[in-house]
A = this chain, B = another copy of it.
Amino acid sequence: MSTLKNDRLLRALLRQPVDVTPVWMMRQAGRYLPEYRATREKAGSFMDLCRNPELACEVTLQPLERFPLDAAILFSDILTVPDAMGLGLYFAEGEGPHFERPVRSEADVARLPVPDPEQELGYVMDAVRTIRAALAGRVPLIGFSGSPWTLATYMVEGGTSKDFRQVKGMMYDRPELLHRLLDTTARAVTAYLNAQVAAGAQALMVFDTWGGVLSPAAYRAFSLAYMRQIVEGLTREAEGRTVPVILFTKNGGQWLEDMAAAGADALGLDWTTDIGQARARVGDRVALQGNLDPAVLYASPATIEREVGAVLASFGAGSGHVFNLGHGIHPQIDPEHAAAMVEAVHRLSPGFHATSD
């Protein structure tokens, strides 16, 4: 593999000194970019795009052509794993994801397989290899998965949910059944992420989109415990470098201390937590990634610069910060506003990385 020319992301995730705060955006390859919409059109459906390694590579690289981002992230979907477990993923037009065969009964859980990533998820591994080759060492490639709890919400509900009636009903009335489902899913995710590393991913992120809908006790037992299980099973070194792992629970700001003890290198933060206070709470145990309100990008470039400066100042001096939005970039954002954010991070952050760092 080619030498990595920009390793700021990997260094910051391990709290090693950097010259500039690295920056990328969740959903940076997405609908706000006209060139993404054109490739998506060419591919057919959203899943057709995920399953085509050449086109997945094309959209992964598109934001890097526009903005001087410090990382690429694999273009894929968190539901590839339950789909490979045989649940029959499909997208109804304008409705979000559905599974043909939701997981509800003992028998449903018992028959869930742990897919072989190079077989049932080979298209993802091919995409990782294609992207790594195309990147040619420009920036590191982040691989990812959904968290077991987040995947379980879709697997049990059969799609997106507002009230999580089925999965919470199972959690409260049949906790052992849900634990079996989560254990199988955690083993599947571990194998999936390790295969991504073997294929070339240089950092990993676990997205726990729905952990924040749980009570604190339920979060620890049904979400965080399985993210810890995954972290313990991951390959943490490849190509002679550490492969940093990031955990992100949306609306998880109340549980940062627990999350910091799960063994990952970094935590993602949404915008409802002050990043300076978060840093004081987690100390030197983990790096932090975040945490600009994605809605700031609706504002003017001058306002964007001011708000970027506020996040950088709140984190303060020293390494251990990867700049990002607190959640995915909204589809209606003007790409020029994303450019203003990236530029502001690179222009304003060197002062926080002085010689003493």
State the Cβ distance, A309 to closest chain B Cβ, in Å.
13
Q: Is A343 an interface residue (CB 8 A)?
A: no
Contacts of A307 in B (CB 8 A): 172
* Given A165-B330, A165-B332, residue A215 in contact with residue B293 (CB < 8 A): yes
A242 at the interface (CB under 8 A from B): no
Q: Which of A168, A212, A295, A310 has the most chain B CB atoms inside 10 A of its CB?
A: A295
Interface size class of A (residues with CB under 8 A): 20 to 34
Cα(A300)–Cα(B172), bound, Å? 8
Say if the beta carbon of A271 comes within 8 Å of chain B: yes
Determine if A299 is an interface residue (Cβ-Cβ < 8 Å): yes
> Chain A interface mostly helix, strand, loop or mixed?
helix
Tally of this chain's copies: 2
A298 near B216 with CB under 8 A, answer no
Q: Which residue of the partner chain B has the closest CB to A271?
A: B215
Q: How does the 8 Å CB contact mask read for A222-264 relative to B, with 1 for contact and 0 for none?
A: 0000000000000000000000000000010110000000000
Interface pairs A-B: 10 shortest CB-CB: A172-B299, A168-B295, A169-B298, A173-B299, A216-B274, A215-B271, A172-B303, A253-B254, A215-B293, A163-B330
8 A-B residue pairs with CB within 8 Å: A165-B298, A168-B299, A169-B299, A172-B303, A212-B251, A215-B274, A217-B274, A254-B272
